[in-house]
Amino acid sequence: MSDNMRIVETFTLPSQGMVYEEQVNPEVVLSSMTTRHEMLRLSSTEDSQKIMAQIIDDCIESDLGISAYDLCLGDFQYLLFMLRVVTFGNEYEMAGKCPYCGFNQTNKVLLDELPVKLYDESLVDLMELTLPKTGSKVKLTLQTPRMLDRINTKIKEYRRRHKDSEENPTILYTILASIEEVDDEQMTTFSLEEWIKDLPLADTNALINRIDLINSVIGVDLNVESECKVCGTEYLLPFYINQTFFRPRN
Ligand SMILES: [Zn+2]
């Protein structure tokens, strides 16, 4: 089949390539998905991010420099949105409920017109944090899709090993994956895990808040502005991906 049936567009990564150790080309030429990609998307795998990263990698016509699997979440999500745009167009419908009168309405979202938060230098300072109780200095790293899959695998392993336990290890593995150094030293995974488990909860909380923050300062703004058709209340609707994201009805 001739390739000219596929739509090709160029996009700029929100990070502008500034958050990577490797050389990353922020100008990304993206082509639309084919049936092959949809078959891949619908495959049953535990590594859900890996599949989407493979599809994005395959649809990138330019030289990104690294796999989409190792992009920061903001860049990855942006490319996912733009992949939807080149494949099916920018119109996406999302249901939302007015917090004032409770009216349920369908909101039309234009995926390529959502505000995008770009890299700025203030991120550098946010990557380091002094914990309020222990005073430890922690250096953090941005999450990637590869890390999300790894965190998921570790949670499943933990549950298999601790069948009688009701503990939820998500917080432990999220912090574990996000820490690069403590007090200017790299720790082994084992000692870091023990260190996290013994942290005063106020420190843990400060870490989680900061991890959430650094992973949300770059990328598509996931709060969609909506106005209730009945009472006129303006409210923010958290963006979510439903079936029609990759299977629009028309
Ligand atoms: Zn309303």
Could you read off the pLDDT of 47-98 as tens digits, one per residue? Answer: 889 999 999 999 999 999 999 999 999 999 999 999 999 999 999 999 999 9
Q: What integer pLDDT is reported at residue 4 of this predicted model? A: 62
What separation in Å is there between the alpha carbon of 106 and the centre of ligand 1?
13
Question: How far is ligand 1, taken at its centre, from the CA of residue 230, in Å?
Answer: 5
Give 97 Cα–ligand 1 centroid separation in angstroms.
Answer: 8
Residue 126 has what pLDDT? 97
Report the separation in Å between the CA atom of 96 and the middle of ligand 1, taken as the mean of its atom positions: 10
Give dist(CA 225, CA 246) in Å, integer: 22
Residue 250 has pLDDT above 80, yes or no: no
Query: DSSP readout, 20-55?
Result: -SS----EEEEE---HHHHHHHTS--S-HHHHHHHH
CA of 102 relative to ligand 1 center, distance in Å: 6
Q: Which of 13-17, 31-35, 246-250 has the lowest mean pLDDT?
A: 246-250
Q: Nearest CA to 100 among 224, 226, 225, 234? A: 234
Average pLDDT, whole number, for the chain? Answer: 94
If you measure from the C-alpha of residue 145 to the centroid of ligand 1, how many angstroms do you get, rounded to a whole number? 37
pLDDT at 1 over 80: no
Residue whose C-alpha is closest to residue 15's, from 72, 82, 83, 77: 72
What mean pLDDT do residues 109-127 have?
A: 95
Summarize the confidence of residues 100-112 as an average pLDDT: 94
Q: From ligand 1's centre to the CA of 52, what distance in Å?
A: 36
Q: Are 84 and 110 spatial neighbours (Cβ–Cβ below 8 Å)? A: no
Cα of 227 vs centre of ligand 1, distance in Å, is 8
217 C-alpha to center of ligand 1: Å? 30
State yes or no: pLDDT of 101 exceeds 70.
yes
Residue 165 Cα, ligand 1 centroid: separation in angstroms? 44
pLDDT digit string, tens, across residues 133-159: 999 999 999 999 999 999 999 999 999
Give 92 Cα–ligand 1 centroid separation in angstroms: 21
Q: List residues bridging with 138 in a β-sheet.
A: 129, 182
- Listed in sequence order, the residues at least 6 apart from 15 whose beta carbon sits closer than 8 Å to its beta carbon are 24, 26, 71, 72, 74, 75, 118, 119, 218
Q: Where in the chain is the domain with CATH 3.30.2220?
A: 122-214
- Is residue 74 within 8 Å of 202, Cβ to Cβ? no
Amino acid at 156: K
Q: Which CATH class is domain 122-214?
A: alpha beta
Spacing, Cα 224 to ligand 1 middle (Å): 16
Q: How far is the CA of 228 from the centre of ligand 1 (A)?
A: 5
Record the pTM. Answer: 0.92
What confidence score (pLDDT) does residue 168 get?
87
pLDDT for residue 62: 95
Residue range 186-221, pLDDT digits in tens: 999 899 999 999 999 999 999 999 999 999 999 999
Please state, in angstroms and as integers, the Cα–Cα distance from residue 164 to each residue in 154, 158, 167, 168, following that order. 17, 11, 9, 12
